[in-house]
Amino acid sequence: MNYWLFKSEPESWSWRQQKAKGAAGQEWDGVRNYQARNFMRAMKVGDRGFFYHSNKERAVVGVVEVAAAAHPDSTDPTGTWDCVDIVAVAEMPNPVTLDMVKAEPELAGMVLAKNSRLSVQPVAEAEWRKVCRMGGLEKA
């Protein structure tokens, strides 16, 4: 199983909205970046991901699961872009902020800390476990 991070501006799509979707899942559409697209193409059903709020909040707020592998983005008429479907599976008891990530030496290698502009990113297993622990999730 692989781990990922999905970044969203809460103003356009928030964790609250994702949770409200429940098991119905949500197309992670609107991504227009080749690197991000390629990561989504590499995802498998059952992979886990962090749900990160960018801009004002800047924190990992929840955990999601990939519910459908990459398929054409229904909002893209050109057929260039793909997306996966995700469902909310757990909420961080304590959101892990970007500041916390940057202050933690074990997380110095996280893409989140190094490349702030990439909206879909891979997360190493050790990083995954560390962030879960910091957020108050024993396992996710």
Partner DNA sequence: GCCAACGTTGGC
Closest among 15, 30, 25 to 81, alpha carbons compared: 30
Q: Do 50 and 133 meet the contact criterion of CB atoms below 8 Å apart? A: no
**7 near DNA, judged by CB under 7 A:** yes
Report CA 84 to chain centroid distance, whole Å: 11
Interaction of residue 11 with DNA, rule CB under 7 A: no
Of 92-131, binders to DNA (CB under 7 A) are 98-99, 102, 114-119
Q: Does 35 bind DNA (CB under 7 A)?
A: yes
Q: Please choose, from the candidates 122, 139, 101, the residue with its C-alpha nearest in 3D space to the C-alpha of residue 2.
A: 122
User: Which residues 56-95 are close enough to bind DNA by CB under 7 A?
Assistant: 56, 58
- What residue ranges bind DNA (CB under 7 A)? 7, 9, 32-35, 54-56, 58, 98-99, 102, 114-119
